[in-house]
Amino acid sequence: MVKRESNIPASPPHPWPEHLPRPLETYNLEVDVHDSSTECSTNGSASPAPAGSESDMSAEHGFFVDPNEAHNERVDLKAIESAVRVILKAVGEDPNREGLLETPARVARMYAEMFAGLKSDPGRHLAKVFTEDYDEIVLVRDISFCSMCEHHLLPFTGKAHIAYLPSGKVVGLSKLARVVEEVARRPQVQERLTQTVANLVEEKLSARGVAVVVESTHSCMTMRGVRKPGSLCLTSAMRGAFRDDPKSRAEVLGLINRES
């Protein structure tokens, strides 16, 4: 057993936020170099400083961990690699030919990225709000996203539009896009993505009204199966005033559909 230890101080100045991944360099890695099923075990004694502090920056550790980025620690990369090798063999490929040698590892990393939001809490992006005497529509339009259809594990890509009616507090505009980005990183159906985003905005901002419209193209409908390139799926979730008041609903839909 070869033990590699980082040079991070054993007693960090602050606890590392639970929902964040710990950068690999900050783990004490215990690697059995003789065992092909190598495991990395984490040692709780070494945690980095919280994001945003000076010691979180690349000068000391060689990288910066963005606390806004979702990360799914439970993804078993080795298991995905094995499964991809099985699939390659099953379709008649030779997983040992040169071009495919690194493919299982690439696919594993790709799934880790595409499903990074599976175990995270996207609502955290809406935790910081600003008191503001503004009670009209706030709309962020054309938030591009790429998610994965849970039926075929093929991407569906498109745009989300989020509007809300504040009740004394507004949120940073980028945070609405961050919620979409994180919720998208799960296997799902478009309806659930739409509702999840609407529920989060309504709950976390105590918004008087929320409108979420999502438009996307599903690869499972364009590149396979029924093969209808150009087909577009639209979903919407209306809450509060946008659901109950036809005038508010018409106003927000007008803004969402307005030509730029």
**CB nearer Zn ion, residue 190 or residue 248:** 190
3-state SS, residue 228: coil
Q: What minimum distance in Å lies between the beta carbon of 188 and ligand GTP?
A: 7
Residue nearest to ligand GTP (CB): 225
Q: Say whether residue 220 binds Zn ion (CB under 5 A).
A: yes
Q: Say whether residue 61 binds ligand GTP (CB under 6 A).
A: no
Whether 152 is catalytic is: yes
Residue that is written with structure tokens 């979409």 in the block: 180
Q: Where are the alpha helices (DSSP H) in the chain?
A: 58-61, 77-90, 103-114, 173-184, 190-205, 219-222, 241-244, 246-257
Give the active site residue among 152, 215, 233, 251.
Answer: 152
**CB nearer ligand GTP, residue 26 or residue 219:** 219
Cβ–Cβ < 8 Å for 70, 20: no
- 112-151 binders of Zn ion (CB under 5 A): 149, 151
Binding residue ranges for Zn(2+): 149, 152, 220
Whether 14 is catalytic is: no
Q: Which entry of ligand GTP, Zn ion, none binds 169, CB below 5 to 8 A by partner kind?
A: none
Give the active site residue among 5, 40, 102, 151.
Answer: 151
Whether 146 is catalytic is: no
| CA–CA dist 178, 4 (Å, integer) | 35
Nearest CA among 9, 1, 69, 6 for reference residue 35? 1
Q: Which residues pair with 187 in a beta bridge?
A: 148
- 185-224 binders of ligand GTP (CB under 6 A): 189-191, 218, 220-221
Residues of the chain by 3-state class (helix, strand, coil), percent to 5: 35, 20, 45
Cβ–Cβ < 8 Å for 198, 183: no
Number of DSSP helices (H) and strands (E) in the chain, helices first? 8, 9
Q: Say whether residue 33 binds ligand GTP (CB under 6 A).
A: no
Q: Which residues bind Zn ion (CB under 5 A)?
A: 149, 151-152, 220
Q: Which residues bind ligand GTP (CB under 6 A)?
A: 149, 151, 189-191, 218, 220-221, 225-226
